[in-house]
Amino acid sequence: MNKIAIIMYGPPGSGKGTQANLLAAKLDIIHFDTGRFCEALVHGPDRQKEKIIQRERKLFDSGILMTPSFVLKEIVKHVKAIAKTGHGLIFSGSPRTIYEAERLMPVLETLYDKRNIFVFELKMRESFSVKRNGRRILCSVCKAPLLTAYYPSKNPKHCPVCAGPFYKRTLDKPETIKIRLKQYRERTEPIVTILKKRGYKIFEVSAEPAPYKIFHQIYGHLKNRR
């Protein structure tokens, strides 16, 4: 089941990264985390001198989507390298704009075949997203998020995976979350509509239950359709 490409959409805080990790482990495919990929691209030490990286870093840190042509070029490069190894792929939050979708989907079709492409849309109320993101903390070492609703400690100190210290991302500040939600609504959500029209398999799943329950639902859809 590993020659498969999955695209996971959902507003900030919907847990698309968590679902992608669960599916990647279950199906033995590679999780392409666009957010983390972009973060590494603009904050990584290697390319800090490049003007284009400095410009993109400013966008990234303010919660505005980075320049689509730039992101696309970098993503396609990596996707081709992964497909070459024979692995399947799961994207969390990508392609994020119509521009990216129109150029990335044909690449995926060539590499994986249209019938092996699955799109999931995690649905969540915006108030829920704001609340969840406001409490979001990540491990600074392994990047695992702490599911604060299920670990109701007032001041958690150690990551349950590796015991590393936690940090809060700059883009999870309440004012930035509002910008990210608006960006999702205006630039990403319409892609799902377009993909539906073009005949891709799209499944809507509620993002509000516990992650393991969401995972069972998603996995059920994949098992039934293949």
Residues at the contact surface with Zn ion, assessed by CB under 5 A = 139, 141-142, 144, 159, 161-162, 164
DSSP characters over the chain: --S-EEEEE--TTS-HHHHHHHHHHHHT-EEEEHHHHHHHHHHSSTTTT-HHHHHHHHHHHHTPPPPHHHHHHHHHHHHHHHHHTT--EEEES-S-SHHHHHHHHHHHHHHH-GGGEEEEEEE--HHHHHHHHHT--EETTT-PBP-TTTS--SS--S-TTT-PPEE--GGGSHHHHHHHHHHIIIIIHHHHHHHHHTT-EEEEEESSS-HHHHHHHHHHHHHHH-
Nearer to Zn ion by Cβ, of 59 and 141: the residue is 141
What lies within 8 Å, CB to CB, of 168 at 6+ separation is: 136, 137, 138
Minimum distance of Zn ion from residue 28's CB (angstroms)? 22
Minimum distance from CB of 105 to Zn ion (Å)? 34
Nearest residue (CB) to Zn ion, 105 versus 139 = 139
Residue nearer to Zn ion on the CB measure, 1 or 163: 163
Nearest approach in angstroms of CB 21 to Zn ion is: 13
Q: How far is the CB of 20 from Zn ion (least distance, A)?
A: 17
Looking at beta carbons only, is 98 or 141 nearer to Zn ion? 141
Which residue's CB is nearer to Zn ion, number 165 or number 220?
165
C-beta of 117 vs 138, nearer to Zn ion:
138
Minimum separation from the CB atom of position 166 to Zn ion (A):
8
CB of 9 to Zn ion, least distance (A): 26
| Rounded Cα distance, 98 and 148, in Å | 33
